[in-house]
Structure 1
Amino acid sequence: MKQPLYVSGAGAVTAAGLNARQTLAAIRASLSAFEEKILSEPFGAVQIVARIPTHYQLRQTDGQWLVNMAARAIGEALQSGTRAAGSTAILLTPPEGFRNHPAYGDIAPQSFLAAVTSATGEKFHAASRALDGGAAASIGLLERAAELMEQNGVQQVLLGGVDSFINEADLARLGRAGRLKGVDNAQGLVPGEAAAFIRLTCEPDEPARFHAAIQGVGVAREKDSVLSDRYSQGRALLSALRDAVNGSGLPEGDINFVVSNSNGERYSGWEQLIARPRFYRTRREVLPTAYPAMTIGDIGAAGGALALMLAADSLLKDYAPGPTAVCEVASETGLRAAAIVARVPRR
């Protein structure tokens, strides 16, 4: 990256909390938001999920539910600062198109961003965009966020995503592939739902002693995705990690911990087992790693922003094991991304 981006605020709604503060506290405390859901197909089957507790009127349709989640998280992120919505661009990652998410039966993909911004009651900068690509796409949009603030008169960017796997289409798809966690599959994912956004600025907003700065980004495409019939050899994840470190100017040995959106599937465990020893070459007794999915399940397209949010919060509130983190983020379709987040002193 040409210049660092600062994580100056955040907003979230997850099964563990209805705002960023509650969500981060639950993850930090290693709480679980898991519960059992009775499925209609196959009838009477039980599935572990991480579902947001809410009034049924907010879930009248899948599309409206995603819009409500995103609007709530965006509003919180915007209110964490004082800059106007008109000078704020939104970069949003909705559910991936290949999934045929039921939300798109209510709201066409090309109309999704407009529906979200309308629900906030604010008018955002015309440079706002929605991009398909899942959790890793959020990390890939960091470079775009920097460009917007350099060239387009944008003062800040709200970067994030919204998603839910708790719908009949995704549950059926994941069930057929044997990817759901259950009594007969310990290495499966727990379907979750969330919206998560971080507020990015080119300069720190507050005169604090330390700030959380994103200093390097790497993105690559894995040909052997979880949707294929092969296990990943970790090539794309390794490439993304190397590019992120090279872009940050920091050596690999300076990385103190990892935040990963790994969801507990055998596939992701295998990928990390192969990729990490090839990248983390400095001797460590242990490599501390945070897995938000242990608290809130797999939250799909919202996972990238949540990883950045958790890394920044741990650095600023001094519960991180060191001053430098790397976020490792994967999308179902094979996109892999990494970002270096560091605690930096006030200039």
Structure 2
Amino acid sequence: MMTFFNTRAAADRPEPVRLAIRAAGLCCVVGYHLRAASCALRAHMDHFQESEFRSSNFDPIIVARLPDDIYGHERLQRWVSHAVRDCAHGMREPLSLLDAARTAVVVLAPDPTRTHTGDGFYAALVANALHQLRAAEDAGAAPSPDVDARIVTVIASGRAGLGNGLQQSMRLLGDQAVEQVLLIGVDSYLNAADMNAMLRAERLLVKGNSNGFLPGEAAAAVLLTLATPDARGIFIEGIGHADEAGRPDGSVPSRAVGLTEAIRAACGQARVTPADLDFRLSDQNGEQFFARESANAVTRIMFGAQQLVHLTLADKIGEVGAATGVAMLAWLSHEMPHIDHSPGNLGVLHLANDGGDRCAVVIRHTGEN
């Protein structure tokens, strides 16, 4: 079964938040699993390459592509399988992912203006990935009825859907409907429909347009539970939402009001001030509109305090859309506990959609580095 979540309703509920990240997985252009990808990201590596896609001048478009020659449903399903399997390897009870009574699944997908967003497309990807996990753990076993019967909640709201996915996870855990939630993000721009649409809108980084992004693809997964008061680890402690009137096409200028409100709301829910933050991790992808907006918002909220360390992922893995937020959480869950390369113990993630949705998430590491 599949349910769709109302992405606007979550913003109106000021619920207390303290979710723990218990395991994570990442499949992206610089690594098929989180540990490999994290090493590459620390080294500022990328895997950008010319593709068979062509610009209006017939120049090859640079993309962040995983090395595989399959396309469509099967391609995305493979990345989801890698991410879920990677997440399972970090769990004490990996087979609990297949138990619908213990684990709910929430999937972040592209917004409805993008391709492949309807007819259960992403719910089917995840169901097939879970079947593959079952087959890997128990070769020759029949498909599990629990996997077939589970409800997969699909949140089709792009990058800024991260906050809605976390709030949906909080509700499921708070209602004690399940013990844990598997939050998955998956997306790829590497299809003709998306590439042509972005070319027409002059959104891609091609010859003659420096104000664009490099299209990419990725899948990421994090396992979430409720956090106990004395627990140590990586925790999500604040979520903020807001709407921004500005649009990337320039039809309405951005005043960074929405992003400012979202960051302040996330900090307020986490009971911290912006001056307490050590770093920010943004979805900045090379487009000037979002770069200016985030710079304006952060300058406003810091109000003369120290400059935050600014981290990004798109300059290494490309623009990965709905997978961005979960990839951020997965990466930070691996990096923050390590004293040698931790960006700090308290940070904020912020993400923006073309349609005006803005989201911010406060993340904290407690315990020894």
CA offset at residue 40 of structure 1?
Answer: 5.0
Asked if 1:325 corresponds to 2:335, the answer is no
TM-score of the superposition, structure 2-length normalised?
0.84
CA offset at residue 270 of structure 1?
Answer: 1.8
CA offset at residue 175 of structure 1?
Answer: 1.2
Question: What letter matches 1:212 in structure 2?
Answer: I
**Residue of structure 2 equivalent to 1:295:** 316
**Residue of structure 2 equivalent to 1:194:** 218
**Residue of structure 1 equivalent to 2:206:** 182
SS at match of 1:180: coil
1:268 to 253, 277, 290: 290
2:233 to 207, 211, 219: 211
Aligned residues: 333
Residue range with higher mean Cα deviation, 10-19 or 64-73: 64-73
Map Cα deviations across residues 13-45 of structure 1 (whole Å, 9 max, x no partner): 111111111122211211122111132564842
Pair 41,185 (structure 1): closer, same or farther in 2 beyond 3 Å = closer
**Residue of structure 1 equivalent to 2:158:** 134
SS at match of 2:285: coil
Residue range with higher mean Cα deviation, 16-25 or 119-128: 119-128
1:160 to 170, 184, 201: 184
Map Cα deviations across residues 78-117 of structure 1 (whole Å, 9 max, x no partner): 3321341211111101222212x1x45xxx4334303421
Percent identity between matched residues is 27
**Residue of structure 2 equivalent to 1:7:** 21
C-alpha contact 1:259 1:310 (8 A) present in aligned 2: no
Map Cα deviations across residues 238-278 of structure 1 (whole Å, 9 max, x no partner): 11101100000112111010111110101111211321211
Asked if 1:17 corresponds to 2:31, the answer is yes
**Unaligned ranges ≥5, structure 2:** 1-14, 135-145
In structure 1, distance between residues paired with 2:55 and 2:249: 22
SS at match of 2:234: strand
C-alpha contact 1:78 1:158 (8 A) present in aligned 2: no
C-alpha contact 1:15 1:50 (8 A) present in aligned 2: yes
Instruction: Trace 1:233-248 onto structure 2 (pairs within 5 A).
Output: 233-248=255-270
**Residue of structure 2 equivalent to 1:92:** 107
Residue range with higher mean Cα deviation, 3-12 or 31-40: 31-40
RMSD between aligned residues:
2.2
Question: What letter matches 2:79 in structure 1?
Answer: M
Asked if 1:224 corresponds to 2:246, the answer is yes
Pair 3,219 (structure 1): closer, same or farther in 2 beyond 3 Å = closer
Instruction: Trace 1:11-90 onto structure 2 (pairs within 5 A).
Output: 11-39=25-53, 42=56, 44-54=58-68, 56=69, 59=70, 61-83=71-93, 84-85=96-97, 86=99, 87-90=102-105
In structure 1, distance between residues paired with 2:248 and 2:313: 20
Pair 114,42 (structure 1): closer, same or farther in 2 beyond 3 Å = same
SS at match of 2:77: helix
Instruction: Trace 1:267-286 onto structure 2 (pairs within 5 A).
Output: 267-284=289-306, 286=307
